[in-house]
Amino acid sequence: MIRFDGAGKRHPDGTIAVEGLDLEVPTGRTTVLVGPSGCGKTTLLRMVNRMVEPTSGRVLLDGADVAGLEPAKLRRGIGYVIQQAGLFPHRKVIDNVATVPLLLGWDRKRARARAAELLELVGLAPETAKRYPFQLSGGQQQRVGVARALAADPPVLLMDEPFSAVDPVVRAGLQDELLRLQSELHKTVLFVTHDIEEAVRLGDQVVVLREHGRIAQLADPHTLLTSPADDGVAAFLGRDRGLRGLALRPASAVAVRPLGDGLRYGGWELTLDEDRRPAGWIDRDAAGAGPHPAPGFRPEADTLRTALDAAVLSPAGVAAVLDADGRVTGTASREAVLAALSAPALTDGAAGGR
């Protein structure tokens, strides 16, 4: 566990970055620090590995004051992921990942074997190991950065806006990957972001910070979105916080119309290909018209937000319900998705692989 005990940072010119923060980061969970620029998020993160030294209070790691620990040794036991990965450009990917194990005295063969395992774990092809960072996409570089942070199996992982420099599609994929990894590894993760949507998607607990690192609210994502502490927090969360809350609830709550009941809704018919995947919606009242897109969702893997999006985008107002292989198992109307919204919400690890 990480604990900030009255931790503060005042710069030599008198500027206060963080003032007297008290916060516990639970073991094996993901805690997200979110807030406007300049609120002290990164300063707090770097206090943990002594890249920033507090000028008041303490930062404790498993009960030990980090100020009493040798900085280099401390940092080798903490995974650290930053924007744009921060890889060594002159080293191959596998050697980038093996850096910390080699510093810890592992032999080269063992360190490289560990690196190869981790590259596979974060979803990179084996041939990636022999490439240099400049030969990778931004998303691939970030995956290498995560692998490098995990190389020595550290119990603590610090992540400073690690996905902010990539496009939205890649970012969503990296978030999925982090959720999957955390479900397997159960690291103590302290994650910094300025994006509230990323915060509620990834965090077991979310800490909304104000100026000087003051806590405006600390809550699980569901409580944060449904019960903001004050008008300031509500404004920061945005007017669409109700829609964001749908991303915390599983699509399994939606009532599904079985495939055997037919694929027609009014004048619309859902057509399937030979593998039973959706080929498109056909308007039977428009002779000769081609198929329209047939968006769908997977009840066991997706959220109510995905299900609602699929139903709204469908020309028939009906979403295709898919199994893990993308085959149609039934349909769900817009009304069925809306009805699921009235079901009791889950408050802990509701959806999205959490």
- Mind listing the pLDDT tens digit for each residue in 34-69? 998 889 999 999 999 999 999 999 999 999 999 999
Is the pLDDT reported for residue 343 higher than 70?
no
Per-chain mean pLDDT for the chain: 89
Q: What is the arithmetic mean of pLDDT over 7-34?
A: 94
Tens digits of per-residue pLDDT, 115-147? 999 999 888 999 999 999 999 998 899 899 999
**Quick one: pLDDT band at residue 289, thresholds 50, 70, 90?**
confident
Same domain, 232 and 324: no
Give the pLDDT confidence score for residue 266 in this predicted structure. 86
Same domain, 121 and 236: yes
- Percent of the chain's residues with pLDDT above 70: 97
Same domain, 62 and 170: yes
Same domain, 220 and 274: no
Domain of residue 307, residue span: 251-340
Same domain, 237 and 257: no
Residue type, 285: D
The verdict on residue 100 lying in a domain is yes
The verdict on residue 227 lying in a domain is yes
Choosing from 209, 228, 246, the residue where a domain stops is: 246
The verdict on residue 64 lying in a domain is yes
The verdict on residue 352 lying in a domain is no
The verdict on residue 270 lying in a domain is yes
The closest alpha carbon to 98, from 143, 106, 75, 189, belongs to 106
Tens digits of per-residue pLDDT, 197-216? 899 999 999 999 999 999 99
Same domain, 302 and 234: no
Helix axes 108-121, 138-150, angle to 10 degrees: 130
Is the pLDDT reported for residue 2 higher than 60?
yes
Choosing from 200, 216, 246, the residue where a domain stops is: 246
The verdict on residue 351 lying in a domain is no
Choosing from 246, 272, 293, the residue where a domain stops is: 246
Give the pLDDT confidence score for residue 345 in this predicted structure. 56
The verdict on residue 347 lying in a domain is no
The verdict on residue 222 lying in a domain is yes
Same domain, 272 and 331: yes
Q: What is the 3-state secondary structure (H, E, C) of the chain?
A: CEEEEEEEEECCCCCEEEEEEEEEECCCCEEEEECCCCCCHHHHHHHHCCCCCCCEEEEEECCEEHHHCCHHHHHHCEEEECCCCCCCCCCCHHHHHCHHHHHCCCCHHHHHHHHHHHHHHCCCCHHHHHCCHHHCCHHHHHHHHHHHHHCCCCCEEEEECCCCCCCHHHHHHHHHHHHHHHHHHCCEEEEEECCHHHHHHHCCEEEEECHHHCEEEEECHHHHHHCCCCHHHHHHHCCCHHHHHHCCCEHHHCCCEEHHHCCEECCEEEEECCCCCEEEEEECCCCCCCCECCCEECCCCCEHHHHHHHHHHCCCCEEEEECCCCCEEEEEEHHHHHHHCCCCCCCCCCCCCC
CATH number of the domain encompassing residue 231: 3.40.50.300
Q: What is the reported pTM?
A: 0.80
Q: What is the 3-state secondary structure (H, E, C) of 247-304?
A: CCCEHHHCCCEEHHHCCEECCEEEEECCCCCEEEEEECCCCCCCCECCCEECCCCCEH
Give the pLDDT confidence score for residue 330 in this predicted structure. 93
Domain count, the chain: 2
Q: What is the arithmetic mean of pLDDT over 3-28?
A: 94
Same domain, 139 and 105: yes
Same domain, 188 and 274: no
